Structure 1
Amino acid sequence: MKIVMVTGGQSCGKSTFAQKTAENISGKRVYVATAQAFDQEMEIKIQKHIEEREDKFDTIEEPLELDQAILKTKEYDVVLLDCLTMWTSNIILNNENNEEAAVEKYLNNFLKSIEKLKNHSNIQKLIIVTNEVGWGIIPGNKLSRIFARLLGTVNKKIAKISDEVYMMVSGIEVKIK
């Protein structure tokens, strides 16, 4: 199983690039979605992603337990996980005042599940989408600083186990690993 991480800023083409990469692999595809629609804007964004996938992917929706969701994908040829940013946010919002320990626990469980799949699945590629959020000014509130720091930790650990890492810049992919 080859692990591909796609990162970049907001609305820079990460999901589009990841989806096209997944569609270039023949066989069964699954989309693991972590987003939750808490407002109308997010509902529209989720609906847009669903429409873009058409009928080319099965979908597993899981906002928190990625370790369990990813184990359900072992019969697929390609897995597209979108995205670690929303997943990290979900963990933080569900574990107020215990964010760091919660992110560490969920991330370690997820990494163990990926390891289990490496030699015991049909998966050719696991494509993981995330965001780079730490390139701007230091956030002005504590929760935003916690989020930026913890997402950075998640991204570093996923990049380390990835075979390829792409940074999206203005809709252009740049291979960095």
Structure 2
Amino acid sequence: MTVRSTLVTGGVRSGKSAYAESLLQHQQSVTYVAPGPIPDPVADPDWAERVALHQARRPAHWSTVETIDVAAAVRAADGAVLVDCLGTWVTALMDDLRGWDRPAADWRDEFDHRVQELTQAWVGASGPLVAVTNEVGMGILPEHRSGRLFRDLLGTVNQGIAAVSDDVLLVVAGRVLRL
């Protein structure tokens, strides 16, 4: 079986990003799509350090696209695509839609539209494609509305991308399990 698209999921610090990168290490052309917020090293030095570690690990010939419009980046890419990660994309998308503190009726249609655009771009791309995401919902019920909202939205996004991917891998403690 030829694998064109892969979703790599797992917990925080499970090794999923490094594993996802290894799947594309021999590709001539890789577009690394970074859909999360651009770090402010003064306001959030921990986030800036995480981003810097990811950047340092990438081969020099990979191109990086920092955007919330992941669907457009996937469609525009020439060659392999690595999206890291869908969790930061959901966060950035909710920030963009100002959805954290507003009723879902005010933003949900636009959110669903953008998820559908990404799913269509994923299906239409020639590949190889790899997306990284956080596995959610295996722990306690989040205390705050934003945590519950994030968990539910990312869970839905993960299911949608998994449904149209050729392979889904779960990374736990650096070990990879095919689902």
TM-score calculated relative to the size of structure 2 = 0.87
Question: What does residue 40 of structure 1 align with?
Answer: 45
Match of 1:93 in 2: 95
Corresponding position: 1:54 with 2:43: no
Q: 2:123 aligns with which of 94, 109, 115?
A: 115
Q: Is 1:105–2:113 an aligned residue pair?
A: yes
* Matched residue, 1:130: 133
Alpha-carbon separation, structure 1, partners of 2:9 and 2:168: 8
| Contact 1:7–1:166 (CA under 8 A) maintained in structure 2 | yes
Question: 2-side partners of 1:99 and 1:43: how far apart?
Answer: 29
Structure 2 unaligned segments of length 5 or more: list them. Answer: none
Q: Distance in 2 between matches of 1:43 and 1:106?
A: 27
* Residue among 154, 157, 160 paired with 2:157: 154
Superimposed CA distance per residue, residues 76-115 of structure 1 (whole angstroms, 9 cap, x where no aligned partner) = 1x21110000001111122222453332111011122223
Q: Percent identity?
A: 29
Do the aligned residues in 1 keep the contact of 2:123 with 2:164 (CA within 8 Å)? no
Q: Give the drift of 1:117.
A: 2.3
Give distance in 1, aligned partners of 2:118 and 2:55: 24
Q: Look up the match of 2:72.
A: 68
Distance 2:35 2:164 in 1: 20
Count of aligned residue pairs for this structure pair: 167
Task: Let me know the Cα RMSD of the aligned residues.
Answer: 1.5
* 1:164 counterpart = 2:141: no
TM-score by length of 1: 0.88
**Which residue matches 1:20?**
22
Q: 1:34 Cα deviation (Å)?
A: 1.1
Q: Describe the shift of the 1:69–1:9 C-alpha distance in structure 2 as closer, same or farther (beyond 3 A).
A: same
Distance of aligned partners of 1:148 and 1:99 in 2 relative to their CA distance in 1, 3 Å threshold: farther
- Contact 1:35/1:46 (8 A) holds in 2: no
